[in-house]
Amino acid sequence: MKTSKGARFGIWLLKVLVSYTVFILLGLLISLIPAGNLGISEEMFYNLRMFFMLFGPVYLTLIVKIILIFIQTAQGKNSNTAETGRGAIFAVTALLLLANLSNTQTASDLAAGMVEGDGFKTLEHSKRYFLKGNHFG
């Protein structure tokens, strides 16, 4: 028997709330450790703790989903769940990895970096300005 969309959304929302509650409680427990014992400044420790509390559930969900997709593929089970979620999971993972690797602080920094990268790529493949494009590479 299929559940309604409202019931599925309610279950999903409950899972999200439980996940964030666990990570926030873990972040509060981590706050009991003095930052000096870890060899980092108080501000850096606070930033790492906030990152863990806010993005921990997102990264955990992505890692678990990717591992489950690999397990289902290795076992030869091709369910629709893995197929429909794979594109979204990899897109979100790619954006998070790109933002992490490009050392962006805000979404506008990420967008500016992507626009600049596309501009440099266009210059590199340009027939008229090919020397300028090679200068950046």
Residue 125 confidence (pLDDT): 67
Angstrom distance (rounded) from CA 78 to CA 70: 11
How far CA 92 is from CA of 32, 72, 82, 86, in Å, comes to: 32, 20, 15, 10
Residue 137 confidence (pLDDT): 47
Quick check: 42 and 50 in contact, CB under 8 A? no
Dihedral, CA atoms, 86, 63, 55, 32, nearest 10 degrees? 170
30-89 confidence digits (pLDDT tens): 888 888 888 888 888 888 888 888 888 888 888 888 787 778 777 776 555 555 566 666
Quick check: 73 and 82 in contact, CB under 8 A? yes
Q: Which of 3, 6, 63, 52 is nearest to 25 (CA)?
A: 52
Identity of residue 39: G
Residue 50 confidence (pLDDT): 86
87-133 confidence digits (pLDDT tens): 666 666 677 776 766 677 776 776 777 777 777 677 666 666 555 54
Contacts of 120 (CB under 8 A, 6+ apart): 133, 136, 137
The pTM of the whole model exceeds 0.75: no
Residue 11 confidence (pLDDT): 86
> Which segments of 19-121 are extended strands (E)?
none
